[in-house]
Every structure is written in structure tokens, then in C-alpha cells.
């Protein structure tokens, strides 16, 4: 659960998330899903049923009426699953929303961005990277649901958590992004591009320059971004069901997983109402939400309990207002008309359960008690008081997880891990490869079981696992994943590390 504050977010968003999310968008967003080209047409699907047909090739499909942040045509990735499962039309669907940070002027007037010099974060993808295994890799843990589902990727190119509804661009002053400025100056002075070419190729970029000792110097660099992520999601989903209609997708028996990472996790929280409202009233429909590495929060641990903080509330409200964000509580649908508050993860869960009474809804929030981005928002590690802030963050996430774990049909999965990179141990934001398959060391203080994240996702989405049989998965032992780029890995457990993070189980059902 993301607990970051706006302070120090410039450094975090620009440096930390950028590297991760470039990989998420360019790598995972076009993951190869399936069995090296599909099944044999007659083979069994493991726990997933008997499969008839093969997975279709990945396609980039233009979405009418949708645009990326730079004004170019928005496209989505689509790969139809096998035609039938257990003799019936394949009505499984995975909708994935990648991450990519955000760009905005904060409540304190600071410019923060994740674009840096990577204009691809506001541009449509140009191709599908077949075989780039990132989040849902070709792994037996996916046999139960993910592997044979129809797949849709809604790329992230609007810098607004997939939830903005602006139709006019905001022009930002990127002059403080020195890496980007230096790159453009070098290209200009090496005659690899001129100002006219920049304006023609990148009409959303505006540059002011002067000459100094025979060299071009950039005085100002401006970039326009249209924050219309929610409008793109709406149009992308319309296109999705148009495509699935030709494949006899049955809403009465639909089994849909909506998931995302980082900014895509927020996008899942803020856009799931679109799918749930569509499914509501269809007798056997099932919806599974899997927000990973990003959830709105307004509370912090005060030594006894997580309590609402006015600054946290103000930050969430500001963000929702800044992008004219979609807010589920402002959208009538299902059995809901109005009146709920949707700032906080606990409020969002309650809202969705009340919105669709009697619908088969499962929610599986995934977070890390030392999430890289959340910790980055605490300031520099060598600053006085950092250790106390880190402990407070860890305790806050732990207590949030405990309350979430009490809610029926919500399958909490809260990690506490770093990963080994060379000789270093680094924090994690966004999950890939063995980070998705290693089981916890001590979920909820007990012995480990077989559940890594991917297996739990599949067992929840397939309804193989009942909530009454589920132990809340809240890691009590810090650990380091030793081989994070492999499909499997050992971990180095550190039970002596910061045990005070594991606050006692609360006696009440939810905080005040």
C-alpha cells in the first residue's frame, strides 16, 4: 500500500520509478502469455480446464477516440485466448494496466515527473515484445486461470494513474530535468536534429534556445501532456468487448481479472467500477481485482492505531482534483447511487462490496512493507530520523493489511522483501519473475505455505481457494530474494530485522 507523502517526491518519482516503469511499459506491457504459441488444440489445461484451440497472436489495436499524453493515437494490446475451455466459449479475461509514475504540480507547488528524458512514457507503444516475460510469465502457477484467458493490455501514456479526464493538455516546464535538456542540447549541437525537426516530430515539445560560443544552449524546455487516462480506459474497454463479442464471450459466465502495477494499481482501484457495473446482474459472473504496488491511503500509525491525517487526506483530494480523476464514489452504478467516500483503500473496498451486493467479487491487494517508492518518499537514508520514519511506514502498512485481512472475500498479500542485485540488496517496487513465485517465509506469523503471488492470483481468480480457507498473507519476516531475475529463487530470511514492525492484531474490525 503506497503511503508516500508529497515531500521529496521529485527525487523519488524522477529517479526511482522511472527506471522501473520504463521496463514495466516496454517489457511487461507486451508479455508473451501462453504456451510458446498456444496449445495443441486438444490438450488439458491443468487446473484450468480442457483447452480447445490456441492463443492468438498479440495485436496492437487502435482505440477510436483515445489519445496518449502527447496527443498521438492510443493503442492497446490484445491476444485472444483459446476458443473454448471445457467445451464452452472462453469467457475468461485478464485486463492489465502497467505503471509509469505521474507528472504534476504538487500541492506545495513543486513540479514532479516521471518522464525524465523518456518521452515513451507519454507515447503509444510501437510494437509488441514477444517473449519478454515480466509479470505473468509462462509458469505452472498460471495454469489455473491466467495462461488461457483472453488478454488485454491498456498501455499507460498519460501520467495520471490511468484516471485523468482532462481533454486539453497542460504545458509543463521541464527545464529542471537536466538529463533531458543535456540530451537535446547534444543532439542539436551534433546536428542530429534541429529545432524545426523537434517541432515537427514532437509537436508537444517547445524549446527556447540561445547561442553561446558557437553552441546551442537550451533556456527553456516545455512539454505538453494530456491527462486523459480514464477516458482511454473507458474507450479501451469498449473496444475490448467489441472484439470479444465476435468470440462468443458470455457475460453471464464471465470470469474477469482486472489488475495493474504501480500507477496501474491505482488505475485498478479507480476503474474497476466499469467492469463490475457491466457484470452486475449477470448471474454467474465473477470479478477479481488485483492492485499491485499502489493503493490510496490517508492513515498513519500513531503508536497504537492507524489514524487519519489531514495532510494525507489533502494530498489524496488534491491528486483526484488535479487530473479531474475518475472517482468510483461519484459514479452511480450497480446498486449504488451516491454518498460513499472513496479516498482510502479501506473505503474503496467497502464501496465496491456495497456497490455490487451478491456479485461474486474477490479483491487481492498486493503491497510491500518497504516498497521502494514509499520509502523514497521518506527522504534520504542518512538523514536524522529516517529509521523512525521507516519503522512507522512499515507499521502503518502492516496494520492496514491486518484490517484488510479481516474483510470477507479480500485476499491480502503483503510482502516484506528486498532483492539481491549484484553485491547489493535493494528495495522493490513492481514485481517480476521470482518475486512473483517465492512463498512467504512466515505469512501472518505462521509457517510458509505454497503461495507465491502468481499462484494465489490464479487460485483466487479461478475460485479454487475459498476465503474461509485463506490465512491473511502478511509477511512477518524480512527476507531478500537472492535470484530475482529467475523464475524461482531462494530467499535469505532475517527474523532479527525490525521486529517492531509487526504490530499486534487489532481487536476491532476497522479503524475509526
C-alpha distances out from residue 267 to 159, 234, 284, 320, Å: 11, 12, 25, 12
Place of cell 504459441: 37
pLDDT value of residue 132: 42
With a cut of 50, say whether residue 150 has pLDDT above it.
yes
With a cut of 70, say whether residue 133 has pLDDT above it.
no
| Beta carbons of 319 and 162 less than 8 angstroms apart | no
Q: Residue 26: which pLDDT band, with cuts at 50, 70 and 90?
A: very low
pLDDT value of residue 47: 58
Q: Residue 209: which pLDDT band, with cuts at 50, 70 and 90?
A: very high
With a cut of 70, say whether residue 450 has pLDDT above it.
yes
Give per-residue pLDDT as tens, 463-477: 999 999 999 999 999
Handedness of CA 162, 166, 171, 173 (dihedral sign): negative
Q: Residue 198: which pLDDT band, with cuts at 50, 70 and 90?
A: confident
pLDDT value of residue 432: 87
With a cut of 80, say whether residue 306 has pLDDT above it.
yes
With a cut of 70, say whether residue 30 has pLDDT above it.
no
For 9-101+133-167+227-433+449-466, CATH gives: 3.40.50
Give per-residue pLDDT as tens, 53-96: 888 888 999 999 999 999 999 999 999 999 999 999 999 999 99
State the chain's mean pLDDT as an integer. Answer: 88
pLDDT value of residue 17: 32
Least confident of 122-131, 142-151, 164-173: 122-131
Handedness of CA 265, 269, 270, 273 (dihedral sign): positive
Task: Single out the residue of 367, 352, 360 nearest to residue 462, CA to CA.
Answer: 360
pLDDT value of residue 128: 63
- Does 126 or 177 have the greater pLDDT score? 177
Separation of alpha carbons 166 and 225, rounded Å:
10
Residues carrying CATH 3.40.50, the chain: 9-101+133-167+227-433+449-466
pLDDT value of residue 117: 61
Separation of alpha carbons 147 and 54, rounded Å:
11
pLDDT value of residue 5: 33
- Per residue, what are the HEC states of 10-46? HHHHHHHHHHHHHHHHHCHHHCCCCCCCCCCCCCECH
pLDDT value of residue 135: 52
- Does 35 or 512 have the greater pLDDT score? 512
Separation of alpha carbons 403 and 307, rounded Å:
13
Separation of alpha carbons 266 and 339, rounded Å:
21
Give per-residue pLDDT as tens, 329-388: 999 999 999 999 999 999 999 999 999 999 999 999 999 999 999 999 999 999 999 999
CA-based angle 392:398:399, to the nearest 5? 90
| Beta carbons of 489 and 357 less than 8 angstroms apart | no
Burial 137-157 (b: 16+ CB within 10 A, else e): bbbebbbbbbbbbbbbbbbbb
Relative to beta strand 51-52, strand 84-85 is antiparallel
Least confident of 1-15, 39-53, 302-316: 1-15
With a cut of 90, say whether residue 403 has pLDDT above it.
yes
pLDDT value of residue 139: 84
3-state secondary structure of 63: strand
pLDDT value of residue 137: 58
Give per-residue pLDDT as tens, 283-302: 999 999 999 999 999 999 99
Mean pLDDT score, 435-455: 94
Mean pLDDT score, 414-443: 95
| Beta carbons of 38 and 208 less than 8 angstroms apart | no
With a cut of 60, say whether residue 129 has pLDDT above it.
no
Q: How many CA atoms lie within 13 A of 95 on its CB side?
A: 32
Separation of alpha carbons 298 and 307, rounded Å:
8
Handedness of CA 240, 241, 246, 252 (dihedral sign): positive
With a cut of 60, say whether residue 23 has pLDDT above it.
no
pLDDT value of residue 252: 97
C-alpha distances out from residue 197 to 188, 205, 370, Å: 10, 11, 44
| Beta carbons of 333 and 353 less than 8 angstroms apart | no
Task: Single out the residue of 3, 84, 458, 20 nearest to residue 261, CA to CA.
Answer: 20
- Does 157 or 198 have the greater pLDDT score? 157
With a cut of 60, say whether residue 34 has pLDDT above it.
no
Handedness of CA 174, 179, 182, 186 (dihedral sign): negative
pTM above 0.85, yes or no: yes
Q: Residue 120: which pLDDT band, with cuts at 50, 70 and 90?
A: confident
pLDDT value of residue 195: 85
What are the E-state strand segments in 275-407?
Answer: 286-292, 299-301, 306-308, 360-363, 366-368
Q: Residue 18: which pLDDT band, with cuts at 50, 70 and 90?
A: very low
Task: Single out the residue of 29, 54, 32 nearest to residue 43, CA to CA.
Answer: 54
Least confident of 5-14, 116-125, 209-218: 5-14
With a cut of 90, say whether residue 221 has pLDDT above it.
yes
Amino acid at each position: 500500500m503506497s503511503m508516500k507523502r508529497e515531500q521529496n517526491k521529485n527525487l523519488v518519482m524522477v529517479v526511482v520509478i522511472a527506471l522501473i516503469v520504463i521496463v514495466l511499459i516496454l517489457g511487461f506491457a507486451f508479455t508473451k502469455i501462453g504456451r510458446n504459441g498456444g496449445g495443441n488444440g486438444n490438450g488439458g489445461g491443468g487446473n484450468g480446464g480442457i483447452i480447445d484451440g490456441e492463443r492468438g497472436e498479440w495485436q496492437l489495436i487502435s482505440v477510436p477516440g483515445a489519445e496518449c499524453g502527447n496527443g498521438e493515437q492510443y493503442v492497446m494490446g490484445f491476444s485472444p485466448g483459446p476458443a473454448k475451455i471445457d467445451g464452452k466459449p472462453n469467457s475468461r479475461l485478464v485486463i492489465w494496466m502497467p505503471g509509469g509514475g505521474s507528472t504534476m504540480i504538487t500541492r506545495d507547488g513543486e513540479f514532479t515527473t516521471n518522464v525524465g528524458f523518456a518521452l515513451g512514457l507519454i507515447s503509444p507503444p510501437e510494437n509488441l515484445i514477444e517473449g519478454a516475460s515480466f509479470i505473468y510469465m509462462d509458469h505452472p502457477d498460471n495454469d489455473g486461470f491466467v495462461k488461457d484467458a483472453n488478454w488485454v493490455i491498456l498501455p499507460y501514456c498519460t501520467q495520471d494513474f490511468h484516471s485523468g479526464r482532462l481533454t486539453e493538455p497542460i504545458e509543463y516546464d521541464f527545464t529542471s530535468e537536466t538529463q533531458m535538456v543535456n540530451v537535446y542540447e547534444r543532439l542539436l549541437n551534433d546536428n542530429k536534429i534541429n529545432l524545426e525537426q523537434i517541432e515537427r516530430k514532437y509537436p508537444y515539445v517547445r524549446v527556447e534556445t540561445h547561442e553561446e560560443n558557437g553552441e546551442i544552449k537550451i533556456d527553456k524546455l516545455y512539454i505538453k501532456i494530456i491527462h486523459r487516462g480514464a477516458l482511454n480506459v473507458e474507450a479501451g474497454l469498449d473496444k475490448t468487448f467489441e472484439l470479444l463479442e465476435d468470440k462468443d464471450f458470455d457475460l453471464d459466465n464471465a470470469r474477469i481479472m482486472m489488475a495493474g502495477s504501480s500507477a496501474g494499481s491505482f488505475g485498478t482501484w479507480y476503474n474497476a467500477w466499469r467492469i463490475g457495473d457491466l457484470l452486475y446482474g449477470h448471474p454467474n459472473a465473477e470479478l477479481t481485482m488485483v492492485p499491485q504496488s499502489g493503493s490510496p491511503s490517508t492513515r498513519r500509525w500513531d503508536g497504537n492505531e492507524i489514524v487519519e491525517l489531514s495532510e494525507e487526506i489533502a494530498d489524496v483530494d488534491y491528486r483526484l482534483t488535479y487530473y479531474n480523476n475518475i472517482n468510483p464514489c461519484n459514479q452511480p452504478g450497480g446498486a449504488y447511487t451516491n454518498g460513499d467516500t472513496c479516498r482510502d483503500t479501506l473505503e474503496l473496498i467497502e464501496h465496491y462490496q456495497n456497490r455490487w451486493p451478491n456479485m461474486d467479487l474477490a479483491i487481492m491487494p498486493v503491497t510491500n512493507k518497504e516498497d521502494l517508492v514509499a520509502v523514497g518518499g521518506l527522504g534520504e537514508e542518512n538523514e536524522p530520523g529516517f529509521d523512525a520514519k521507516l519503522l512507522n511506514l512499515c507499521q502503518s502498512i502492516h496494520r492496514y493489511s491486518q484490517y484488510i485481512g479481516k474483510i470477507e472475500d479480500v485476499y491480502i498479500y503483503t510482502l516484506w522483501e528486498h532483492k539481491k542485485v549484484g553485491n547489493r540488496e535493494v528495495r522493490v517496487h513492481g514485481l517480476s519473475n521470482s518475486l512473483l513465485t517465492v512463498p512467504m517465509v512466515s505469512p501472518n506469523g505462521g509457517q510458509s505455505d505454497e503461495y507465491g503471488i502468481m499462484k494465489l492470483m490464479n487460485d483466487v481468480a479461478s475460485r479454487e481457494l475459498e476465503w474461509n480457507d485463506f490465512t491473511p498473507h502478511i509477511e512477518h519476516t524480512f527476507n531478500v530474494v537472492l535470484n530475482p531475475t529467475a523464475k524461482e529463487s531462494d530467499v535469505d530470511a532475517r527474523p532479527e530485522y525490525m521486529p517492531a514492525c509487526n504490530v499486534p492484531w487489532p481487536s476491532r474490525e476497522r479503524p475509526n
